Amino acid sequence: MMTLFYISAAVALISSVLAISRANAVHALLYTIVSLLSVALVFFILGAPFAAALEVVIYAGAIMVLFVFVVMMISSGPGAARQEQQWMNFRLWTGPSVLVIVLICELFYIVSLPPVTGPINMVVESKQVGMALLGPYVLGVELASLLLTAGLVGAYHLGKKEPREDTDK
């Protein structure tokens, strides 16, 4: 299992680096989706299938589809048809495809393993989650809230329209 964990982590690192280094927004989105799927597999390997499912459904599913639609709506100019033809090049899809194939092979291997036997406590109360988040993980929670606040402020300033100066004076 440790080997699968390290392979998934390596795929997450590689796809994350490729996501931030791509100049094309669609390629960056593809690598981001692969990164999110590999993080979901890491969660699954660590014994958190619910977190893995949330990662796939919320992040890799809903949010990334929203990003893809935004990119599609923004890039619908006169050269969009030519750009789409360039994206159909097989060479451009080899990187994400190889990483996804590695993740799918890992997932099939994990699912084919015999189930774990023994007592498993599947009930997690909200009090336990709150104690964990505000106990040993309080620094991570605060850093995440700071990052979200910085993103909100950045989005506000990027989307804010500057007042035009009157030229009639």
What are the pLDDT digits (tens) for 28-60?
Answer: 888 888 888 898 888 888 888 878 888 888 777
Q: What distance lies between CA 119 and its chain's CA centroid?
A: 33
C-alpha to C-alpha distance for 33 and 50, rounded to whole angstroms:
18
Which candidate, 17, 57, 23, places its Cα nearest to that of 37? 57
| 141 in any annotated domain | no
User: For position 55, which CATH number holds?
Assistant: 1.20.120.1200
φ, ψ dihedrals at 69, nearest 5°: -65, -40
For residue 107, the enclosing domain spans: 2-114
How many helices and strands (H and E) does the chain possess? 8, 0
| 78 in any annotated domain | yes
| 156 in any annotated domain | no
| 150 in any annotated domain | no
| 52 in any annotated domain | yes
| 123 in any annotated domain | no
Residue 163 banded pLDDT, cuts 50, 70, 90: low
| Per-residue pLDDT at 18 exceeds 80 | yes
Task: Please state whether 165 falls in left (phi above 0), alpha (psi between -120 and 50) or beta.
Answer: beta
Task: Quote the crossing angle between the two packed helices 90-112 and 2-21, to the nearest 10°.
Answer: 160
| 148 in any annotated domain | no
| 160 in any annotated domain | no
| Per-residue pLDDT at 169 exceeds 60 | no
Supply the pTM of this predicted model: 0.57
**137-153 residue pLDDT tens:** 788 778 777 877 777 77
Count the domains in the chain: 1
**For residues 102 and 4, is the Cβ–Cβ distance under 8 A?**
no
